[in-house]
């Protein structure tokens, strides 16, 4: 145990030596905040951003005593981010169900008999109404999800571009998750002002085939490269609780941290088991594994936004507090994710109040 502990201090402690300000983040959390009373930790705690973490180093970090792990992650977090602020994001499923892919966790796959119905692509005005409502609820990022394997190149794509422009005009960050993208589509989305594109690696390359067979890991990496090349910020993370072992989590973290630059946004989801999907009867994951995953992501990718994503309804307030302490700095607001439930907004506001967590950078209200 002492050796492991030493290992963590070494892995992180070395990295805690003065390093260049990589300035990768899409938000500059180091700006003096208008609201915080907490000190931003001294710049000397800023870490070198690395892309060469080995599986052994990641294991050492992930398996260190929980209090050490969370302490280190909190140090890294405070060196790079405003630790009492969390970004509120809101999701909207703009095209639901009927997806030809076979992702074992997903209620929107046409291959599984779930309660999720099929709905065509929404209209632009309905979408923007939802975005305005999200902004009124404190969200600064609006994420539009479509159950597509890849993006159709027809009038529906033009409609998505209009949605992106509209969300940007509301003063919000616009994120899309539409499946695989080609180069032209990525450029068109960038031209429309898209802030970020979400495409998750989901798990390690080794475990991936247990979960998805209809597209491969390399295709995911290729889409991420096209997003990056188009100048859109990358949102990519994964899911825990699908029956993977810890090695699969280290493998996912390593793949994410190998991306250069790191994804600006790393959503960490805990499986929401949905009846009718192959993973519908998975037992609940231990919330402390989620805390470890978040802490490790924070340490490996210090400047990224680490997003506590799906699965919050299964977490106690205490577990969520630990996730924030471990470096999560974003949540999805609103009582629905894409198709599954999320905490009610009253419960979230009570929680944020109790924890002294603030939603940061509320969007300006001047436009539209
Ligand atoms: N079709 C697009 C794609 O797969 O890229 C976008 C939508 S998909 C729903 C976005 C992500 O949500 C998935 O990659 C997965 O990580 C996450 N997700 C989907 N169903 C989930 C579930 N039941 N529990 C937790 N996360 C889930
Ligand atoms: C991500 O990693 N999690 C969000 C967002 N990216 C698109 C989606 C979670 C979906 C949970 C299942 C559902 O509601 O359908
Ligand atoms: Fe389709 Fe995305 Fe669901 Fe996979 S996760 S089945 S690609 S909607």
Q: Has residue 36 got a pLDDT over 50? A: no
**Which atom of ligand 2 sits closest to the CA of residue 309?**
3
51 in the same domain as 104: no
Residue 368 domain flag = no
Domain count, the chain: 2
Same domain, 25 and 106: no
Cβ of 195: how many Cβ atoms within 10 Å?
Answer: 23
Residue 328, φ and ψ in degrees, nearest 5:
-70, 135
0.85 surpassed by pTM: yes
Q: Are residues 134 and 206 in the same domain?
A: yes
Domain boundary among 78, 101, 128: 78
Do 165 and 297 lie in one domain? The reply is yes
- How far does the centroid of ligand 3 lie from the alpha carbon of residue 144, in Å? 13
pLDDT in tens, 215-253: 999 999 999 999 999 999 999 999 999 999 999 999 999
Domain that holds residue 64: 2-78
Higher pLDDT, 35 or 320: 320
User: Is residue 365 included in any domain, yes or no?
Assistant: no
pLDDT at 23 over 80: no
Q: How many CB atoms lie under 10 A from the CB of residue 95?
A: 22
Q: pLDDT class for 43, splitting at 50, 70, 90?
A: low
* Residue 45 banded pLDDT, cuts 50, 70, 90: low
Please check whether residues 28 and 124 belong to one and the same domain: no
Asked if residue 306 is part of any domain, the answer here is yes
Looking from the CA of residue 212, the nearest atom of ligand 3 is: 4
| Mutation to probe ligand 2, out of 304, 310, 314, 332 (largest number of atoms < 8 A from CB) | 310
pLDDT at 35 over 70: no
User: Percentage of residues in the chain with pLDDT exceeding 70?
Assistant: 85
Within this chain, do residues 69 and 113 fall inside the same structural domain, yes or no? Answer: no
For the segment 301-326, the average pLDDT, to the nearest whole number, is 98
Do 271 and 346 reside in the same domain of the chain?
yes
- State the chain's mean pLDDT as an integer: 89
Q: Does a structural domain hold residue 366?
A: no
Select from 31, 47, 78 the last residue of a domain: 78
Task: Mark whether 70 and 135 lie in a shared domain.
Answer: no
What's residue 367's pLDDT? 43
- Nearest-CA residue for atom 8 of ligand 3: 147
Sorted by sequence, the CB contacts under 8 Å of residue 29 that are 6+ apart come out as 40, 80, 81, 82, 85, 329
């Amino acid at each position: 145990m002492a050796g492991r502990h030493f290992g963590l201090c070494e892995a992180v402690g070395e990295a805690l030596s003065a390093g260049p300000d990589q300035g990768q983040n899409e938000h500059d959390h180091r700006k003096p905040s208008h609201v915080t009373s907490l000190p931003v930790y001294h710049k000397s705690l800023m870490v070198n951003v690395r892309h060469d973490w080995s599986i052994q180093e990641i294991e050492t970090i992930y398996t260190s005593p929980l209090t050490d792990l969370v302490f280190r992650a909190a140090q890294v977090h405070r060196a790079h981010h405003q630790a009492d602020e969390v970004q509120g994001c809101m999701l909207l499923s703009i095209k639901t169900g009927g997806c030809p892919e076979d992702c074992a966790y997903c209620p929107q796959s046409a291959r599984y008999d779930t309660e999720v119905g099929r709905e065509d692509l929404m209209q632009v005005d309905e979408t923007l109404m939802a975005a305005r409502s999200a902004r009124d609820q404190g969200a600064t990022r609006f994420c539009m999800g479509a159950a597509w394997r890849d993006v159709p190149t027809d009038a529906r794509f033009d409609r998505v571009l209009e949605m992106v422009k509209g969300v940007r005009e509301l003063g919000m960050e616009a994120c899309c998750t539409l499946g695989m993208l080609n180069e032209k589509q990525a450029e068109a989305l960038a031209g429309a002002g898209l802030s970020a594109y979400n495409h998750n690696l989901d798990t390690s390359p080794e475990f991936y085939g247990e979960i998805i067979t209809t597209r491969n890991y390399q295709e995911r990496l290729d889409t991420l490269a096209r997003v990056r090349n188009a100048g859109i910020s990358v949102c990519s993370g994964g899911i825990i609780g699908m029956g993977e072992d810890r090695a699969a989590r280290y493998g996912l973290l390593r793949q994410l941290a190998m991306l250069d630059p790191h994804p600006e946004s790393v959503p960490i989801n805990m499986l929401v088991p949905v009846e009718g999907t192959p993973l519908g009867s998975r037992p609940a994951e231990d919330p402390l594994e989620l805390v470890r995953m978040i802490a490790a992501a924070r340490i490996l990718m210090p400047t990224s936004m680490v997003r506590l994503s799906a699965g919050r309804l299964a977490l106690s307030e205490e577990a969520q507090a630990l996730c924030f302490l471990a470096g999560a700095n974003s949540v999805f607001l609103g009582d629905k994710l894409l198709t599954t439930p999320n905490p009610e907004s009253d419960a979230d506001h009570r929680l944020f109040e109790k924890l002294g967590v603030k939603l940061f950078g509320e969007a300006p209200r001047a436009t539209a």
